[in-house]
Amino acid sequence: MRRGLLWVGFLALGLVLIDYATGFLVRLSGDPLAPRTNPLTFLSLSFCLAATLHQRPLRVACRGERALWGLAMLTAALFSVSDSLSAWVFGPEYLGETDWKTTLAVCCLAMSQLVRSQNKDLGLAFAALSLIVPSIAINGYLLGVEQFFGEMSVATTLILLPLALANLLRFSRHRLIAPILRQSPGGQILRLQILIWSVVVMVSPLTLRMELTSASGFYPFLQTLENGLVLAGMLYVGNRWIDLHDRQHRTKRALLSDLARDPLTVAGTRKAAVDAFLQMRSGRKIGLVLLDIDHFKSVNDTHGHSAGDRLLCALVRRLRQELRITDILARWGGEEFLIMVRVNDENALQDMAERLRKAVHDIAIVPGGAHFMTASFGAVLVDPGANPNLKDCIAAADNALYQAKAAGRDTVVMASLDGGLWQVPEARHRASAARQ
Residue 201 and residue 106 share a domain = yes
Q: Is a pLDDT exceeding 80 seen at residue 147?
A: no
321: pLDDT confidence band, cut at 50, 70 and 90?
Answer: very high
Checking DSSP bridges between strand 375-382 and strand 421-423, what pairing results, if any? unpaired
Average pLDDT of the chain, as a whole number:
79
Tell whether 402 is covered by a domain.
yes
Do 379 and 417 form a contact (C-beta atoms < 8 A)? no
Tell whether 431 is covered by a domain.
no
Residue 412 and residue 278 share a domain = yes
Q: Specify the pLDDT at position 94.
A: 54
Q: Could you list the residue range(s) of the whole structural domain that residue 312 is in?
A: 270-423
Q: Is a pLDDT exceeding 80 seen at residue 156?
A: yes
Q: Is a pLDDT exceeding 80 seen at residue 420?
A: no
Do 291 and 401 form a contact (C-beta atoms < 8 A)? yes
Tell whether 259 is covered by a domain.
no
Residue 406 and residue 364 share a domain = yes
Q: Specify the pLDDT at position 424.
A: 73
User: Distance (Å, rounded) from C-alpha 146 to C-alpha 171?
Assistant: 35
Q: Specify the pLDDT at position 293.
A: 94
Q: Is a pLDDT exceeding 60 seen at residue 400?
A: yes
Residue 281 and residue 192 share a domain = no
Tell whether 396 is covered by a domain.
yes
Nearest to 3 by CA among 114, 165, 154: 165
Q: Specify the pLDDT at position 137.
A: 79
Residue 125 and residue 12 share a domain = yes
Give every CB contact of residue 183 below 8 A, 6+ residues apart in sequence: none
What's the whole-number mean pLDDT along residues 365-389? 87
Nearest to 338 by CA among 410, 273, 416: 273
In three-state form (DSSP H/G/I as H, E/B as E, the rest C), the secondary structure along the chain is CHHHHHHHHHHHHHHHHHHHHHCHHHHHHCCCCCCCCCHHHHHHHHHHHHHHHCCCCCCCCCHHHHHHHHHHHHHHHHHHHHHHHHHHHHCCCCCCCCCHHHHHHHHHHHHHHHCCCCCHHHHHHHHHHHHHHHHHHHHHHHHCCHHHHCCCCHHHHHHHHHHHHHHHHHHCCCCCCHHHHCCCHHHHHHHHHHHHHHHHHHHHHHHHCCCCCCCCCCHHHHHHHHHHHHHHHHHHHHHHHHHHHHHHHHHHHHHHHHHHECCCCCCECHHHHHHHHHHCCCCCEEEEEEEEECCHHHHHHHHCHHHHHHHHHHHHHHHHHHCCCCCEEEEEECCEEEEEEEECCHHHHHHHHHHHHHHHCCCECCCCCCCECCEEEEEEEECHHHCCCHHHHHHHHHHHHHHHHHCCCCCEEEEEEECCEEECCCCCCCCCCCCC
How do residues 102-119 score in pLDDT, each as one tens digit?
Answer: 888 889 999 998 898 889
Tell whether 129 is covered by a domain.
yes
How do residues 338-352 score in pLDDT, each as one tens digit?
Answer: 999 999 889 999 999
Q: Specify the pLDDT at position 432.
A: 38
What's the whole-number mean pLDDT along residues 1-23? 75
Tell whether 434 is covered by a domain.
no
Higher pLDDT: 170 or 398? It is 398
Sign of torsion, CA 295 300 306 309?
positive
Tally of domains within the chain: 2
Do 133 and 165 form a contact (C-beta atoms < 8 A)? no
| Number of alpha carbons in the 13 Å side-chain half-sphere of residue 199 | 5
For residue 196, what are the CA distances in angstroms to 199, 239, 395? 5, 17, 62
Given 227, 253, 279, the domain boundary residue is: 253
How do residues 190-213 score in pLDDT, each as one tens digit?
Answer: 777 777 777 776 666 655 555 554
How do residues 38-81 score in pLDDT, each as one tens digit?
Answer: 777 888 888 888 888 888 766 777 888 889 999 988 888 877 66
Residue 275 and residue 243 share a domain = no
Q: Specify the pLDDT at position 1.
A: 63
Residue 153 and residue 240 share a domain = yes
Residue 274 and residue 149 share a domain = no
Query: Which of 50-54, 162-166, 281-285, 392-396 is the least confident region?
Result: 281-285
Q: Specify the pLDDT at position 433.
A: 38
Q: Is a pLDDT exceeding 80 seen at residue 395?
A: yes
Q: Is a pLDDT exceeding 50 seen at residue 430?
A: no
Tell whether 430 is covered by a domain.
no
Q: Specify the pLDDT at position 373.
A: 92
Tell whether 429 is covered by a domain.
no
Given 253, 285, 308, the domain boundary residue is: 253
User: Is this structure's pTM higher than 0.75?
Assistant: no
For residue 201, what are the CA distances in angstroms to 1, 147, 234, 328? 21, 20, 14, 57
